Structure 1
Amino acid sequence: MAVLMDAINPSIPKPKFGSESIVRQACILLILYLSLGVVIYWFNRHHFVGPKTNPVVDALYFCIVTMCTIGFGDITPNSNATKLFSILFVLVGFGFIDILLSGMVSYVLDLQENYLLKTVQHDGDKRDLATSYIIDVKKGRMRIRLKVGLALGVVVLCIGIGVGVMHFVEHLEWLDSFYLSVMSVTTVGYGDRAFKTMPGRLFAAIWLLVSTVAVARAFLYLAEARVDKRHRRMAKWVLGQDMTVSQFLAADIDNNGYV
């Protein structure tokens, strides 16, 4: 990276975006939204068909499965009113998933990056190693490869936890447990396998929400990695060319002193 700023002030402080407050607001809105869905399901529970356990657990399970666009098909609406409710619930739910996804990831990454930066600043012997493989100190953020690895690790962890619960709680064979776990995490939801017990559905209500967010973020990081790789190639090609001072200044399109 070509730097045109004064050597005394080589970096710009990392801005704060209030990710913690976004997470708090998103969680509160999500809880209220799910509570509203559970109440509506409760008053219309006789207009839903499928295997039943506990009405409240079934309501929460149905709302999560619907909002995460999994659609197992084990509980379905069978009246015009409940079908309209399902349509509105999933459409509005997209917004909550997006807000929660962005806020949670930003908050977690802020914590990780601040911790790593403090570690680097207080450990001079390991500064070069951390800078090379973990973080980019100039940009003040984790390297994209590490973020991709962490996101994929969370997805694998979600699948593993799902396999264990489905085998020991839902009493499925190991292969069927793995099959249902992957189909659920990837939001495919064929419907030939689903959660039938009350503990299983209670677990699924939390697990499906977390795993859906994790998978979505993993795909975003993979896309970001490809874009970052392309930008690096372009930057390498540009910096390999003979450029004049005026060309460097023209390349600083955002006037922040960096090219």
Structure 2
Amino acid sequence: MMQVAAAMFVYLVLASCFYLVRDDIEGTKTNPIIDAVYFCVVTMTTVGYGDLVPNTAFLKLLASVYVFLGMAVVGLILSKAADYLVEKQEMLLIKALNNYHKIGYGDESFSTRGGRAFAIFWILISTLCLGQFFLNVAEMFTESRQRALVNWILTRKITNLDLEADVDNDGVVGAAEFVIYKLKRWVRSQMKISHLK
């Protein structure tokens, strides 16, 4: 967090350099230092109200650099916030798993009536949550395999068997044509099966 605060402080201190070129900024001005920092904050956040506008090429270039640096500072802030949240979630997950997975009888347990009533719900809910977690992990791997299969199907070369589904002979098999083709094949296979009975 100190890095974020330091980066923001340096950014705003450097913003005071716009004080030196305040005569090259058009718009309604109030206090030179406040206007310089205000201009940089509005530029950093890419709000750009247009009430203070640079009117020289050099100042426009300097403002462009400040937009880039400002976005880097915002990115740093968001990155540190995300790191903090992920770290906190990891700690909570570790604590939950440590409390949940202890099976060894003889460990600390719920010994009061209220504690055991709580344990009934806690154990059931934590078991369901753990199951949901593993389901999500499995689903994630399944989705990636499905995406790979779809990618393989979409990038492979069309064969003569594929072109059998081209009903209107335009060289392209649309989704509707493919569905109709598959349904016709399924009906034919069902008819063959029914004749065998």
| Structure of greater Rg | 2
Bigger relative CO (Cα 8 Å, ≥ 6 apart): 1
- Give the TM-score taking structure 2 as reference length: 0.50
- Give the TM-score taking structure 1 as reference length: 0.39
